[in-house]
């Protein structure tokens, strides 16, 4: 992996200095020699302005090469309880992300039950402030049908495997529709708080992950809608929305009930607190206790009054 990124150029410069010092046979260097070494060092790492990509090997992605990259740079993440997978690199190494994106888009389908799905679409975004490029996959069908089974089949060597395990459970809850039940949303919220930094011993607010019995209790619930082979995830979500079309929503601001009368739709609840009616903040966080991004308050949403 080192020889596939600009870090290899730093290694070449570092090696040239080490060899020079080794061959000089003395620790007392002349001023011109010191200036030459300082000149080399000043153009390494963050000081580098010249990139000779001819020295960098062509990238050939395979599962084990990619595994190492994911263990170092990958994120199994949640944004407003929506799942995503992403990898980041400085924009100077964009050729690495391009190669990985092509590989991910060619993955074979692991979940063949779903027939109506396309290959993963990899999104590429550049942070202009940090010059970091990020590739990501956010579609539930692509994450579940292609990526998840591929990742579960390769031997992770670090604690990243625990993130993958719990993230995969949350993905399963989304794919089959458990997320649209109150118990499922609460479980996904617990998982989202636990993975990544939540479980680190350095976290002052250390989070305990859900137990196997908690997970099985949710998976034992009989679903009102059954996933069909020709269903995309959006079709499943619409089917659950139809089942729960009569919904009452209680909104709390910093723990105080906003209105004695419940709102009868997510749109009306969001509009009442100054959000766009199309916002998914309430839909994604209802019954979890998760605070939606506040507009002059800290709002939580429940399907029953507390």
Q: What pLDDT score was predicted for residue 28?
A: 78
Domain limits at 214? 63-219
Q: Is pLDDT of 128 > 90?
A: no
Last residue of a domain, one of 201, 219, 237: 219
Q: What is the model's pLDDT at position 210?
A: 94
One domain, residues 289 and 259: yes
Q: Which range has the worst mean pLDDT, 126-135, 182-191, 284-293?
A: 284-293
Residues 82 and 27 in one domain: no
* Residues 82 and 45 reside in one and the same domain: no
Is 72 in the same domain as 208? yes
- For residue range 194-205, what is the model confidence (pLDDT) as tens digits? 998 777 667 777
Q: 249 by DSSP, 3-state: which?
A: strand
pLDDT value, residue 305: 86
- At residue 254 the predicted structure's pLDDT band, cuts being 50, 70 and 90, is confident
Per-residue pLDDT for 2 more than 70? no
236 lies in a domain?
no
Same domain, 107 and 34: no
Q: What is the pLDDT of residue 296?
A: 64
The answer, yes or no, to whether residue 215 has pLDDT greater than 60, is: yes
Instruction: Assess contact for 150 and 159: CB atoms under 8 A.
Output: no
Write down how long the chain is.
Answer: 306
pLDDT of residue 279: 83
67 lies in some domain: yes
Mind listing the pLDDT tens digit for each residue in 39-90?
A: 878 777 777 777 766 666 677 889 998 999 899 899 999 988 999 999 998 8
pLDDT in tens, 7-47: 767 787 888 888 887 877 767 777 888 888 888 787 777 77
**Dihedral-angle region of residue 196 (phi above 0 means left; psi in -120 to 50 means alpha; beta otherwise):** left
CATH number of the domain residue 199 falls in: 3.10.28.10
Percent share of the chain, pLDDT over 70: 93
Report, as an integer, the average pLDDT of 225-252: 90
195 SS3 class: coil
- 93 and 207 both lie in a single domain: yes
Rounded mean pLDDT, 259-276: 87
**How far is it, in rounded angstroms, from Cα 66 to Cα 59?**
11
Q: What is the pLDDT of residues 141-173, one digit of tens each?
A: 999 999 999 999 999 999 899 999 999 999 999
Q: Which residue has the tokens 């991910």?
A: 104
Give yes or no: residues 158 and 95 share one domain: yes
Instruction: Clarify whether residues 176 and 82 are in a common domain.
Output: yes
Separation of alpha carbons 185 and 287, rounded Å: 7
Distance CA 267, CA 283 (A): 9
User: Per the structure, how many domains does the chain have?
Assistant: 3
Q: Grade residue 3 by pLDDT with cuts at 50, 70 and 90.
A: low
pLDDT reported for residue 288:
87
Query: Does residue 159 share a domain with residue 114?
Result: yes
């Amino acid at each position: 992996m080192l020889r596939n990124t600009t870090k290899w150029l730093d290694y070449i410069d570092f090696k040239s200095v080490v060899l020079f010092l080794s061959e000089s046979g003395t620790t007392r260097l002349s001023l011109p020699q010191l200036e030459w070494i300082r000149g080399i060092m000043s153009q390494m790492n963050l000081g580098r302005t010249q990139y000779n990509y001819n020295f960098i090997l062509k990238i050939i992605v395979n599962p084990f090469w990619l595994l190492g990259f994911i263990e170092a740079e990958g994120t199994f993440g949640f944004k407003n309880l929506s799942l995503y997978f992403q990898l980041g690199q400085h924009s100077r190494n964009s050729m690495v992300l391009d190669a990985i994106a092509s590989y991910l888009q060619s993955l074979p389908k692991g979940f063949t039950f779903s027939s109506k799905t396309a290959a993963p679409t990899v999104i590429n975004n550049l942070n202009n402030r940090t010059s970091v490029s990020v590739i990501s996959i956010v579609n539930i069908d692509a994450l579940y049908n292609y990526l998840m089974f591929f990742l579960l089949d390769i031997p992770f060597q670090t604690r990243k495997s625990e993130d993958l395990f719990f993230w995969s459970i949350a993905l399963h809850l989304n794919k089959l529709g458990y997320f649209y039940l109150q118990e499922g949303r609460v479980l996904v919220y617990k998982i989202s708080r636990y993975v990544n930094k939540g479980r680190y011993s350095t976290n002052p607010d250390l989070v305990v992950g859900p137990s196997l019995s908690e997970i099985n209790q949710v998976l034992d619930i009989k679903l009102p809608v059954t996933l069909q082979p020709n269903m995309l995830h959006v079709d499943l979500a619409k089917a659950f929305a139809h089942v729960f079309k009569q919904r009452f929503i209680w909104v709390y601001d910093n723990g105080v009930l906003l209105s004695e009368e419940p709102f009868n739709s997510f749109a009306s609840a969001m509009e009442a607190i100054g959000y766009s009616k199309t916002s998914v903040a309430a839909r994604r966080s209802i019954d979890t206790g998760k605070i939606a991004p506040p507009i002059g308050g800290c709002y939580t949403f429940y399907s029953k009054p507390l």
